Structures are given as structure tokens and as C-alpha cells.
Amino acid sequence: MDSIKEFNLWLEINERMSEKRKNSSNRFEQMFKKTSSYISQKIPHAYSDAFKDFLSTAFFHSQSFLQTSKHFHEKKNDILRRAQILRSDITKINDLRNLPIRQLNFLAEQEISKALIISSVQGGMSGTSSKLAMFCDLPALLLVNLKTVQEIAMCYGYDVSIPLEMECCLKVLQGALLPSPVKYERWHTLMTDTLKHEDEDVFAIWDSEFNGEDVYQTLFLQFSKLFIIHSLKNRLIGGVPVVGIAVGAKWNENLTKNVLEYTKAFYQYRLLSKRIKKEPTV
């Protein structure tokens, strides 16, 4: 029964991602794409390349920082403990791949729920229009999402302490942050490369997802959010910028939800593809 459900889920994800790749951008997205493209063309190539290199380097060092933290090791052990309740012979993260996908989904959903709350609170703090909170908004939001992407990967049995999985995890997050439908093109490319190198002890040759102009669209959207929040700082209810707090909280929650749904689908599909390859008669 589990095998049939897992095969149906694999088909569903495959169909959903194919449709999203084919879908054209809506009017709002097209407007932002034109604006971000115009802005990127005004930036000298030397500065643009330096900025993209900085982004890629910042992501890499952020991941290294998170993985050397005490919290990361505690979370890793916590995921193992919860998995051992479901199956007692689990001793390492890779062993989680032997669990049914419904149980792995349960573990991942717990991490997603926590991240949505944290992201919403963090966005609400930015909504107060505090200079410090607004300045830290984007770095904090990226750290929350990066941390949770790592945790989701581990929930599906992929140990992000391994260099290849570290890089894959970063590419998933970078792809998830890109605008639609570009992000789903990246999803397809990354999935194809990942499955090709699944059984090899080598690095896949992946380019940075921030090589194109699409990254500016993502950044422009985030700066637009900060501008909206700043413009609402005088809309006070009882001396509190309630509207700005609501906008910041909901915006960050939606971004995190989109990133983590993308991540969850990626690791579900990756694991199920491996299982289906082993069991072609399903």
C-alpha cells in the first residue's frame, strides 16, 4: 500500500513541477521582471559580478557557520531520536531513507511549522520599522530558511554534513529563492544532475544559481517590502504600527512557505526516484 501511495506521490510531484515550468508569469511578476532587468542593466558588469560572487560566498559561509553551531548538532540528534521512535534500528541520518515517505513527511512538517512561526515573528519585528530590525531582515530571513532547508534534507535522510549534500542543499535554497517559473527550471536541472551523481563519490558540476538577472527580481521584491513597511510606520493603532507588523509577518511567512514547499518536494522526489529505480515493478 505504501509503495502504491509513494509512486502516486512521485507522479503527482512530477506533473506539478512540469506544469509550473510551463506556466507563464502573471502581470505582477512580469512588471517586476522588467523593472529588475532594467536595474540590472544599469549596474556595471564588474560590480554585478562582484555582488553575485559575494552572495554565493555569503551563502556558503552561512551554511558552514550553522553546521558548526551547537544547535545544528542538537537538531540532528533530535531528528534521529524522533525517527528512532518510528523505527528502533535507525542510528544515522542516512537510515531515515528506509522509513515510509508518510513518516518522513511528518518529521519534515514539524520543522516547517516551527520555521513558519519564527519567520512570521521575525517579519513582524521588521514591521515595527526599527532600523536595526529592517537592516537585519534579509540576512535573518535567509538564515531561517537555510537552517530549515538543512533540517528538511536531514528529515528525508540526506546528511548535509557531507560536502556533496552541503552543496546540493545550497543549490536547492538558491533555486527556491528565484522567481517563478525560473525556479522550476532550476529544480529540473538540479534534480537531473543530482540523480545522475546519486551513487558517485564526486561533486556534480553546478553553477551558481545567482548567475542571471533573476536574482535582482528577488532582491527587488524584498526591498519593496521594506519600503512598504517604512511607508506604513505612521499608521499606528494604540501607538503600535499594527499594519506594518502584519505586512512584514505575512510577507516573510509566505516567502518561507514557498521556499520550504519547494525544498520538501525536491527531497521527496529525489528519494522516491531512488526507490522507484530499485522497484521498477511498482
Q: Where are the alpha helices (DSSP H) in the chain?
A: 2-22, 27-42, 45-67, 70-86, 101-126, 131-135, 137-155, 163-177, 182-196, 214-231, 242-278
Cα–Cα–Cα angle for 7, 15, 105, rounded to 5 degrees: 50
The grid coordinates listed for 202 are 564526486
> pLDDT tens digits for the chain (282 residues)?
578 888 899 999 988 888 887 776 666 666 666 766 666 676 777 766 777 777 777 877 788 888 888 889 999 999 999 999 999 899 999 999 999 999 999 999 999 999 999 999 999 998 888 888 888 888 899 999 999 999 999 999 999 988 888 888 888 998 898 887 788 888 888 888 888 766 554 444 555 555 556 677 777 888 888 888 888 877 777 777 888 899 999 999 999 999 999 999 999 999 999 888 765 443
Cβ atoms 154, 128 nearer than 8 A:
no
Q: What is the pTM of this model?
A: 0.88
The grid coordinates listed for 92 are 544515522
CA atoms within 13 A on the CB side of 20: 18
Please give the biggest Cα pair distance in the chain.
65
